[in-house]
Amino acid sequence: MQFNRLRLNGFKSFVDPTDLIISPGLTGVVGPNGCGKSNLLEALRWIMGENRPTAMRGAGMEDVIFAGTTSRGARHFAEVALIIDNSDRVAPAGFNDSDTLEIIRRITRDAGSAYKVNGREVRARDVQMLFADASTGAHSPALVRQGQISELINARPKARRRVLEEAAGISGLYQRRHEAELKLNGTETNLARLADVADGMT
């Protein structure tokens, strides 16, 4: 899954619309301290469905919206768009009818987040699964935050196993299994209720 372009608007320090072209191969981002390098990585995590404000270094998710400076007012929304090359058709069924996917996440103050894929509104879960199936996502081990290596060295075996599972691309399957188990439990409860009703009628 090749990421082609990242567009930011009102996301953290990127108050003005900013377009980042991601060419095949290695991309380096260099700049002075505080210029927004980590914010770019966080924008990638966020568009892939990150829902923990702490992973965005904030107290609430609205903290990703440009908060204003002495010379510029705060914004009411933040938007990140990621354009992906899907010519090898790795996206899950339902998203696989086009060579390019444009995923957009937008957060508006007091209204939460909304997602779109190629102009169509989708759920956060759909976007998370899209990336999980492609062995990437907000928790991908390919995205390494500052301090993460030492955390990994000190992590418990279970946490380390999760990192390996993410890398192996099976975390999407776990999510689907969990959802299937919930449905199964619901169906078993309904069956038990049905049996009670049937008993009452005889």
| Footprint on this chain of ligand ATP (rule: CB under 6 A) | 12-13, 31, 33-39, 63, 65-67
Q: How far is CA 81 from CA 6, 161, 164, in A?
A: 6, 31, 28
Q: Between 62 and 166, whose beta carbon lies closer to ligand ATP? A: 62
Q: How far is the CB of 51 from ligand ATP (least distance, A)?
A: 17
Identify the DSSP state of 61: G
Q: How far is the CB of 68 from ligand ATP (least distance, A)?
A: 7
Q: How far is the CB of 127 from ligand ATP (least distance, A)?
A: 22
CB atoms within 10 A of CB 137: 23
Longest CA–CA separation in the chain, Å: 78
Q: Between 79 and 133, whose beta carbon lies closer to ligand ATP? A: 79
Q: Between 36 and 137, whose beta carbon lies closer to ligand ATP? A: 36
Tokens read off for 130: 């899209």
Backbone CA torsion sign across 51, 55, 58, 63: negative
Q: Between 36 and 49, whose beta carbon lies closer to ligand ATP? A: 36
Give binding residues for ATP as ranges: 32-39
Alpha-carbon distance 41 to 59, whole Å? 18
| 8 A C-beta contact, residue 75 and residue 66 | yes
Q: How far is the CB of 110 from ligand ATP (least distance, A)?
A: 16
Give binding residues as ranges: 32-39
